[in-house]
Structure 1
Amino acid sequence: MSRQKCYDRRDKTLTFVDGEDQLDFLMEEFNSPRAAMSCGHAVTPMSLTNWCKRLIDEGNTKFSCPLTKNNANCNAEWSYMEVRKMAALTAAECMYFEETMAKNATKQYNDLKACPGCQSLVLRKDPSKLAVRCTFCTVQRKKAYDFCWQCQREWKGPGPTSDRCAHERCNNYELDILGTCKDVVFEMVKNVSGCPSVRACPTCGCRVEHDGTGCKNITCSRCKVEFCFVCLKITTECKKSGPYSYTGTCTAGVAPRQTFIPVWQKK
């Protein structure tokens, strides 16, 4: 996606910086000029492009600085306008960023899917029902058009139901993954076995995978709630269940494989 790009030292709108606190760990650009972001940390166009692309590819809608300031995480938030300028985004990159950010925002705040009949986004108002009506297709076809939220085909059979429609192999793809994924082997967490490598976030239901590195806690990319991957409790609750350690066994033990997807009860 990214082309090789470099700041022009003659650009008077930029503040060029030399020093160690630089965002160059995603791509080696040691000979490229670095300019200061609003938080003061130095970037190159390529390193900033790669870092911010990584953020939106992980489902985020905001950009933040990953570096440290005074021995603490900086976490300064950068606006898209700042990122667009400082990353020297091309027209194609701008389109990718803006479309991906819009999709991420949609996923975070609405229960939406594309209608298989017209591909327009449809909001599911009742999470307990799989039969969802597309008003656009209903008007266009001059008859009620419902589709299955689970298998994403035109609804077949009686309804509405909460488990499946009458199509063969109408199964929940997300649940299939939760039930058949391999177990994760933690590098740091002690005495844990039989923990699935993929979980549904206990707060919003977003699918989250643990690669075994780091501690047992993970922060959901959608709802931003941190939970324990082992016992599936919110981290604050996991800490209350007994003697706590980020790398130790949970007092509550390993939660079994999930058989339903939690629905996000937004407040």
Structure 2
Amino acid sequence: MTTEQQEPEKHYNPRDSTLRFVTRQDDITLDDDPDTLRAEMSCGHAVTPQSLTAWCRSLLDQGQHVFRCPALKDGTVQKCGAEWPYQEVRKLAVLTAAEQGHFETALAALAAAEHCEFKSCPGCQTCVERADQTNLCVLCTVCTAETGRAYEFCWQCLQRWKGPAPRSDRCDNQSCTNKDLQLLEKCETTSLPQVEGVSACPSLRACPTCGQVLEHDRTGCKNILCSRCQVEFCFVCLKLTPVCLDTSSYFEACKDGVAPRQTSIPSWNRSGS
């Protein structure tokens, strides 16, 4: 079934006094029908129920739980980037009951994944949270209580821990490897057709803030919003967007060129300290 078949037909009620209707053509995505009624978001950009639903659903599909306006600021090439509260999206997207259920379930799961990181203990299958993001050796309190002695497992290979600890690279199990790091080292190169001078960039990058491995969809500008920590960075030079834009623009080559393949993955300090 196609997306068009799944999406219900939606329209604003022109008598709804709680909405501000506009006629200017600055939607986040223009509809083919110029007579479609448009409403103004809190940031000032206009949307239709269909365009807003499609945009926010695409963000959820990319693992993003913060809805931001993708429109360009007037007379610039800078994105608006204003955050839209879910309550506003729910109302102006005219979400159906089924869509609300889908959105809210996805939002809850994504928000939980951002603030907590859990894996199943290989001994008892209980979900365990890792407190120290720099240490792969994790203590399972359930197995420890049941066996009467410390039970530690490797966060990376999910086998019982072998070797000295703490360690951030691997345990002494022979099969313990960092699969994300292997992906970064062996990925193919890609180009960003709309960015000047970017024709050979690694196709996978680890977010410089949290280490999430991401792929650019090769459309639009060189910056990408991390689906886990919600921090925007330049896919080319790996600097945070504000730093990169000090010496270039969204569609220009970075001053320092293309950053080499990453040989380590940043650990996410959720406290920000």
Amino acid at match of 1:113: F
2:266 corresponds in structure 1 to 262
Aligned pair partner of 2:59 in 55, 59, 73 = 55
**Cα-to-partner distance string for 1:94-113 (whole Å, 9 max, x where unaligned):** 33322322333334344x12
Whether 1:115 and 2:127 are equivalent positions in the alignment is no
Secondary structure of the structure 2 residue equivalent to 1:147: strand
Identity of aligned pairs, percent?
A: 43
Secondary structure of the structure 2 residue equivalent to 1:97: helix
Aligned pair partner of 1:207 in 190, 213, 229 = 213
Pairwise CA RMSD? 3.8
Task: Report matched runs for 1:175-254 at 5 Å.
Answer: 175-187=181-193, 188-190=195-197, 193=200, 195-234=201-240, 247-248=252-253, 250-251=255-256, 253-254=257-258
Q: Which runs of 5+ in 2 are unaligned?
A: none
Kindly indicate whether the alpha-carbon contact (under 8 Å) linking 2:237 and 2:259 is maintained by their aligned counterparts in 1.
yes
2:83 corresponds in structure 1 to 77
Kindly indicate whether the alpha-carbon contact (under 8 Å) linking 2:119 and 2:129 is maintained by their aligned counterparts in 1.
no
Secondary structure of the structure 1 residue equivalent to 2:112: helix
2:170 corresponds in structure 1 to 164
More divergent stretch after superposition (229-238 vs 166-175): 229-238
Task: Report matched runs for 1:85-104 at 5 Å.
Answer: 85-104=91-110
Kindly indicate whether the alpha-carbon contact (under 8 Å) linking 2:207 and 2:226 is maintained by their aligned counterparts in 1.
yes
Amino acid at match of 1:49: T
Kindly indicate whether the alpha-carbon contact (under 8 Å) linking 1:178 and 1:198 is maintained by their aligned counterparts in 2.
yes
Q: Which runs of 5+ in 1 are unaligned?
A: none
How many residue pairs end up in the alignment? Answer: 260
Secondary structure of the structure 2 residue equivalent to 1:259: coil
Question: Closer, same or farther in 2 for the Cα pair 1:54/1:143, shift >3 Å?
Answer: farther
More divergent stretch after superposition (136-145 vs 71-80): 136-145
Question: Closer, same or farther in 2 for the Cα pair 1:103/1:146, shift >3 Å?
Answer: farther
Task: Report matched runs for 1:8-19 at 5 Å.
Answer: 9=13, 12=16, 15=19, 17=21, 19=23
Kindly indicate whether the alpha-carbon contact (under 8 Å) linking 2:68 and 2:82 is maintained by their aligned counterparts in 1.
yes
Amino acid at match of 2:183: I
Distance in 2, matches of 1:224 and 1:167, equals: 34
Question: Closer, same or farther in 2 for the Cα pair 1:45/1:226, shift >3 Å?
Answer: closer
- Give the superposition deviation at 1:182: 0.5
TM-score by length of structure 2 reads 0.72
Distance in 1, matches of 2:126 and 2:33, equals: 42
Question: Closer, same or farther in 2 for the Cα pair 1:32/1:237, shift >3 Å?
Answer: closer
2:29 corresponds in structure 1 to 25
1:127 corresponds in structure 2 to 133
- Give the superposition deviation at 1:186: 3.5
Secondary structure of the structure 1 residue equivalent to 2:202: coil
